Amino acid sequence: MNCPSLFAPLTVASRVLPNRVCMAPMTREMTPGGLPTAAMADYYARRAAGGTGLIITEGVAINLAGSFGSAVPRLYGADALHAWAPLVARVHAHSSAIIAQLWHVGAFNPALIAMQDSLPDVVERLSPSGLAAPDKPLGRAMTEDDIAATIADFACAAAAAQTAGFDGIEIHGAHGYLIDQFLWPETNRRSDRYGGDPARRLTFAVELIRAIREATSADFIIAMRLSHWKQLGYHARLAASPEELAAIVEPLARAGVDLFHCSTRRFWEREFDGDPRNLAAWVKILSGKPVITVGSVTLGTDFKVPTGKIRAEVALEHLALLEAGLARGDWDLVAIGRALIANPDWAELIRAGCAQDLKKFEKAMLETLA
Ligand SMILES: Cc1cc2nc3c(=O)[nH]c(=O)nc-3n(C[C@H](O)[C@H](O)[C@H](O)COP(=O)(O)O)c2cc1C
């Protein structure tokens, strides 16, 4: 099975993507000091050379308070402004597009999910209500000035990404980080215009998207990643019905999102009882925007935090499901995570009908940027 629909071009915000294969954003914590290295440029260029049409970078910090840790890359600071252009050019040389995932962790301590690296204690974590989870106070609640400054930092990082040559950015609105903390009532207990009913909890995201749109040109892709699941809980839900989901994605689309990335751990699972469509398919219908699906594509074991669950056999039966969903129009793009770490040439192998040559994913593969 070589999935012909995967290899049709797609135009998003007037950028023609050569095919439907995306690299999922994956934090690798291999940028001491936060600047992209030559090894990192090689790593992304290898995936572009292997036929990936759209690279979504690992999460990139927009300011110090929002950084996951000292070894993740950043798009703030004068030195960062020029550091990304060579990496972007390496990807473009293979006719692939590349967008930077902009990330603010909010109330989040890597130690909570047993990850090692942490920022110095002097960094005060900011979030809607000073809560990492309903029963986990952390850092402090943002003032309206903090909110305005954070939105400005997102817009600056997006403008810097455009200057560096990126084709767009992806706003990390998923997995329980800052933007998701505003969306989720359990971590947003505010009584000002940023908290309360679902529409008010969206205010931060809507203002952020508008600010990024104003800071960049109309052909610069604004993608947004959303999920139900959080780092601290796989069973959290943002919307219990299509109506509730529409109330989230319609305003985001109106604010300027060009592309939604619907993060699930198993792409084939239905979103609502009584209907076979997954989260991506629903978001596409409800927002009218193109969507990316993701989650265990060609892998027999789903993603778990910490990243150590950890060996995943190849599951070729997913290819027929992927192709059928693309052909039906349920989703427009497919993001590949761990399978693309294991197989930089994932797209080429599928295109050539050589899926049986895919390698399984193993934990040791996370130790290098191969
Ligand atoms: C090592 C690793 C790092 C990740 N880092 C990020 C990240 O920075 N941003 C993000 O949105 N998701 C991140 N994820 C989640 C992936 O983007 C993806 O959604 C998840 O791995 C499921 O896809 P897969 O089953 O194809 O691996 C990470 C996943 C892994 C394995």
Residue segments in the chain with a per-residue pLDDT below the cut of 70:
110-122, 305-310
Rounded Cα gap, residues 231 and 309, in angstroms: 14
pLDDT attached to residue 114: 42
- CB of 339 closer than 6 angstroms to any ligand 1 atom: yes
Q: Identify the structural domains of the chain with CATH numbers, from first to last.
A: 4-367 (3.20.20.70)
Cβ of 334 below 6 Å from ligand 1: no
pLDDT of 303 reads: 76
pLDDT at 300: 87
Report the separation in Å between the CA atom of 304 and the middle of ligand 1, taken as the mean of its atom positions.
9
Between the CA of 24 and the centroid of ligand 1 the distance, in Å, is 6
| Beta-carbon-side half-sphere exposure of residue 199 (alpha carbons within 13 Å) | 1
Q: Is 263 helix (H, G, I), strand (E, B) or coil?
A: strand
Q: Of 21, 27, 301, which is best to mutate to test ligand 1, by the most ligand atoms within 8 angstroms of its C-beta?
A: 27
Tokens describing residue 95: 């006719």
CA 78 to ligand 1 center in whole angstroms: 28
> For residue range 160-185, what is the model confidence (pLDDT) as tens digits?
999 999 999 999 999 999 999 999 99
Locate the ligand 1 atom nearest the alpha carbon of residue 336 and give its number. Answer: 26
**Which residue is closest in CA terms to ligand 1's atom 15?**
26
Q: Which residue puts its alpha carbon closest to atom 3 of ligand 1?
A: 26
The predicted structure's pLDDT at residue 116? 40
Can you name the residues that pair with 15 across neighbouring β-strands? Answer: 12
Q: pTM of the full predicted structure?
A: 0.96
Closest by CA to 3, choosing from 333, 312, 338, is 333
- Asked if 51 contacts 345 with a C-beta cutoff of 8 angstroms, the reply is yes
Q: Give the catalytic positions in this structure.
A: 177
The answer to whether the CB of 58 is under 6 A from ligand 1 is yes
CA distances for 66 relative to 73, 113, 164, 210, angstroms: 12, 17, 21, 20
